[in-house]
Structure 1
Amino acid sequence: MEFAFSDEQDMIRESAESFLADVSDSAAVRAAMASELGHDPALWQRLCGEMGWSAIHIPEAHGGLGLGFVELAILLEQMGRRLLCSPFFATACLATPALLLGGSEAQRSRWLPPIAEGSLTAALAFSAGRGWDATTLGATARAEGEGFVLNGELAQVVDGHGAGLLIVAARAPGSSGLDGISLFAVAADSPGIGRWLTPTLDQTRKLAHIELNNLYVPVEALLGPAGQAGALLQRVLQLACVALAAEQTGGAQQVLDLSVAYMQERQQFGRPIASFQALKHRAADMMLQVECARSAAYYAACVAQEALDPAGDPAVAAELPLAAALAKAECGEAFFHCAAESIQLHGGVGFTWEYDPHLYFKRARAGEAFLGAPSWHRERIAAALLDAPQAGEQP
């Protein structure tokens, strides 16, 4: 597995870094935070039309660029550096994989082209708010006539308040575990859907609460066979963990850069505080955390690419559950550690509104818990390793 970027990937990274430095500075982030939508629609159109980012890993047959998950991770790392406020994560990293992996050709032809051109945003709604496992669903789906009736409440839906398309996970009454789970692609303005914003710590990423009240959906909305989407939802959440890990890596890098720049400017006892050995050690520890996070994120992105590619290596794709859990745990903790250190290294101004470290701190804390806390992912890794056959044992 090759970890060095190609010339094309380097070009994607450089263009993303330069573009986002201009359009997602501190003032732009704060303006988006204060808006009800949570992002600037004009900037979203530039991201999609001018840069083509919403199309990056959508197949060319459906209006996309046909690139891979590594290229997606490169964009997400730069978005994380600049705290980009946009529906990109919800659309490209939560909803689009569900369509790519579970949608029929007709469904992909209907939904992917408008996503690729930026005229449609999407969100994944599944959690009841009691956990992040694929089995903790908040909605039920009861067969009725030629379709299904959905009821329930779905919490912590990223950018769900403004999305045009909802990928809704629901289970058959009486089912449990991964059995009986179905995914539905539903227009967000369908009768029976209520949506409102949820107040959160991290104002740079909007979360919504969604209520389904006797929502009728036709059988054509099903992604795959009814009651058999549990494994699909699990795979989508694993891919989302990898995407979030790449974003967190970018955030960790940026708070390190902000801290070093501040320490070089701040004078104490007649010299920059960056010259103090104790602070150098703390910055070096932050850099180590960032590099470990980056390694974990891009290894997982390479595995995710094999899992998404119909012609991918099945042996590598089988590593996705562990790679995603490792990346989410490592990158979440690295980002939070670096954000907390950045506040300390900025001294008394670190948590004031005028300086940016507190924005990263809040994103880091919220992201650390989103899609599962590091301890939860480590439990999954431990369980998988302990259950795996040991040398000399029969599988």
Structure 2
Amino acid sequence: MFELSREHDELRATVRKFLARRSEEGTVRRLMETSQGYDEQTWQVMAAQLGLQGLAIPEEHGGSGFGVVELQIVMEEMGRALMCSPFLATVCWAVPLLLESGDAALAAELLPAVAEGSVTVAVAVQDGERATVAQRDDDGWTLDGSKRFVVDGASADRVVVLARTPEGPGLFLVDDAASLVRTAMTTLDQTRKQAALSFEQTRARPVGDVGAGQTVLDAAMVTARTLLAAESVGTCARMLEMTVNYAKIRHQFDRPIGSFQAVKHLCTRMLIDTELATSAAGAAGAAVDAGDDAAPLLSRVAAAATSDALESVAAEMIEIHGGIGFTWEHPAHLYYKRAASSARLWGSSSEHRSAIFDLAGATK
């Protein structure tokens, strides 16, 4: 069983202190109303002073060379604070894609820029109204089609796109994302922006081997899914904390509502669900760092556990808060919306369980 060290505790304390200043409720509410969805100065400070963007980037590419476990600590704290930033898309998804692609030249070009906070990268996978197709011509490759539900797609500097090719699915990098037709999507959780993208003879260059895109994407998703699970654990922990604190100060019949057995049971269930999710996410992170063959399976277990925990903990938070939990002024609805969104961002719990069944069968 992997155990966190004193250095891990110090990392957590540092990130929590930073986010207490940079991602308090007022800042979250302000940023969720903007089109960009995050604060560029905060993004720069994260890179220059804390080195968060480069935490798990190899040292030869300007990073610190740590692993997924360290990134999970950061993501847990971001989940607690509802951090508005392109960290999930850029650091947790695009970086693993570049590393898994085996494209050494592109990694040497992009990863140092990500580590220093000068570039953000989105990943576009789900097709929109038109399938995305890549075609080769004398000058390279062009993309035609559309994508939707692209996390931080409206603000990213560059976009990695999954597209159809004669050789099979391929990954392509659009260097000038600002030239795309990008439409912000109205989604439940406005603390995490999503966009629809349109490609019309858009110039792009291949990421890794053309035709190996799905294989690379599947491998990178093991890391990305594990990191989203860690963020979800942080969100659950904060919802539990808010709820227990409220149950201590809210009185009915001259007693704190937390003294009632029914409320105690609900809080206990929230704790159990959060602890199960924490264990599953931790096991997945350790497996990814160790290069364990079970990492794909454990990442799905973590995704299923955290998806279930997000839904149950969020619902019980609203139930215990009562009427105030429905009001715009209280932060409960912000966490509820993040929970509902993250629980389905890269698949529902039932989809993850179906994948677990397939993976378990494949390893027998």
TM-score normalised according to structure 1 size: 0.89
**Offset, 1:146:** 4.5
Provide the residue aligned with 2:202 in structure 1: 215
| Distance in 1 between residues matched to 2:285 and 2:176, nearest whole Å | 30
Q: What is residue 326 of structure 2 aligned with on the other side?
A: 351
Who is 1:115 aligned against?
A: 114
Give 2:176's aligned residue: 188
Matched, 1:293 2:277: yes
What is the aligned partner in structure 2 of residue 7 from structure 1? 6
Q: Quick check: 1:85–1:204 contact (8 Å CA) kept in 2?
A: yes
Partners of 1:141 and 1:102 lie apart in 2 by 18
Q: Distance in 2 between matches of 1:166 and 1:149?
A: 14
What percent of counterpart residues are identical? 39
User: 2:145 maps to what in 1?
Assistant: 152
Kept in 1: contact 2:157–2:178 (CA 8 A): no
Kindly provide the CA deviation profile for residues 325-344 of structure 1, in whole angstroms up to 9, marking residues without a partner as x: 11111001101211111111
Q: Secondary structure at the match of 1:39?
A: coil
Partner secondary structure for residue 258 of structure 1 = helix
Distance in 1 of aligned mates of 2:362 and 2:88: 33
How many pairs align? 364
Whole-Å Cα distance in 1 between the matches of residues 175 and 181 of structure 2? 12
Query: Which residue, 226, 236, 240 being the options, matches 2:224?
Result: 240
Letter in 2 for 1:188: D
Structure-2 separation of matches of 1:196 and 1:18 = 35
CA distance in 2, matches of 1:129, 1:300: 31
Asked if 2 retains the 8 angstrom alpha-carbon contact of 1:126 and 1:138, the reply is: no
Distance 2:207 2:320 in 1: 49
For residue 238 of structure 1, report the CA deviation from its aligned partner. Answer: 2.3
Gaps in structure 2 of 5+ consecutive residues: none
3-state DSSP class of the match of 2:267?
helix
Q: CA 1:129–1:153 in structure 2 vs 1: closer, same or farther (change >3 Å)?
A: closer
The question of 1:171 aligning with 2:158 is answered no
Using the alignment, how far apart are the partners of 1:388 and 1:237 within structure 2? 19
The 1:171–1:306 alpha-carbon spacing in structure 2 relative to 1, beyond 3 Å, is farther
Report the counterpart of residue 75 of structure 2 in structure 1.
76
- What SS does the corresponding residue of 1:53 show, helix, strand or coil? coil
AA matched with 2:91? A
Shift of 1:252: 0.3
Counterpart pick for 1:139 among 124, 129, 132: 132
Instruction: Name the CA shift for 1:121/1:287 in 2 (closer, same or farther; >3 Å).
Output: same
Q: Which residue of 2 aligns with 1:104?
A: 103
Structure 2: distance between partners of 1:189 and 1:226: 21
CA-CA distance at 1:164 after TM superposition? 0.7
CA distance in 2, matches of 1:189, 1:16: 30
**How much is the aligned-residue C-alpha RMSD, in angstroms?**
1.6
- The structure-2 alpha-carbon separation of the partners of 1:328 and 1:138, relative to structure 1 and needing over 3 Å to count, comes to farther
Pairwise CA distance, 1:384: 2.7
Change (3 A) 1:138 1:248: farther
By how many angstroms is 1:258 displaced?
A: 0.2
The structural deviation recorded for 1:105 is 2.3
How do residues 316-335 of structure 1 correspond to structure 2 at under 5 angstroms? 316=292, 318-335=293-310
Closer/same/farther in 2, CA of residues 153 and 47 from structure 1, 3 Å limit? same
Deviations 1:342-378 (A, max 9, x none): 1111111111111111111111111111111100110
CA distance in 2, matches of 1:357, 1:14: 24
Q: Structure 1: which amino acid aligns with 2:328? A: W
**2:327 is equivalent to residue 340 of structure 1:** no
| CA distance in 1: counterparts of 2:71 and 2:326, whole angstroms | 31
Question: Does the CA contact (< 8 Å) of 1:195 and 1:209 recur in 2?
Answer: yes
**How far apart are 1:190 and its partner, in Å?**
6.7
Unaligned runs of 5+ in 1: 131-136, 174-178, 308-315, 390-395
Q: Which amino acid aligns with 1:200?
A: T
Q: Which moved more, 1:99-108 or 1:248-257?
A: 99-108
8 Å CA contact retained: 1:237, 1:371: no
3-state SS in 1 of match to 2:326: coil
Residues 305-324 of structure 1 aligned to structure 2 (within 5 Å): 305-307=289-291, 316=292, 318-324=293-299
1:262 and 2:246 aligned: yes
Give the TM-score normalised by structure 2. 0.96
Counterpart of 1:203, as a letter, is Q
